[in-house]
Amino acid sequence: DQQVKQNSPSLSVQEGRISILNCDYTNSMFDYFLWYKKYPAEGPTFLISISSIKDKNEDGRFTVFLNKSAKHLSLHIVPSQPGDSAVYFCAASADGGTSYGKLTFGQGTILTVHP
């Protein structure tokens, strides 16, 4: 039972353009969402998060949008840079972000940004 789904295994974008990564979830108890980036041979690195009481959170080039009615969130990267090429994971928590470590992850989307 995949409670967090990233239906696009890969995404290819030109440098300078917008990258949009999508994530859907099925568990209505999820109330805190995070995006992680992972390079080969490294652990996932936290990017940005959003609480279910918000519909948008922005941090520099990264913006996360949450649509609770659709159980959908997306990560926008503008402008995309070659260094953004990595695997991006969407993750969810059912404890308002205070779970101290229990997250449910999606399968990941491989982002490739071409120069």
Partner 1 sequence: DAGVTQSPTHLIKTRGQQVTLRCSPISGHKSVSWYQQVLGQGPQFIFQYYEKEERGRGNFPDRFSARQFPNYSSELNVNALLLGDSALYLCASSLPGELFFGEGSRLTVL
Q: Which of 77, 108, 111, 113 binds partner 1 (CB under 8 A)?
A: 108
The C-alpha atoms of residue 105 and residue 36 are separated, in whole angstroms, by: 9
Q: Is 69 in the site for partner 1 (CB under 8 A)?
A: no
Contacting residue, 60, 70, 83, 102, with partner 1 by CB under 8 A: 102
DSSP sequence for 69-99 = TTTEEEEEESS--GGG-EEEEEEEESSTT-S
Least Å distance between CB 115 and partner 1? 27
Quick one: which of 77, 99, 81 has its CA closest to 33?
A: 99
Under the rule (CB under 8 A), what is the footprint of partner 1? Answer: 4, 6, 32, 34, 36, 41-46, 49, 89, 91, 93, 97-108
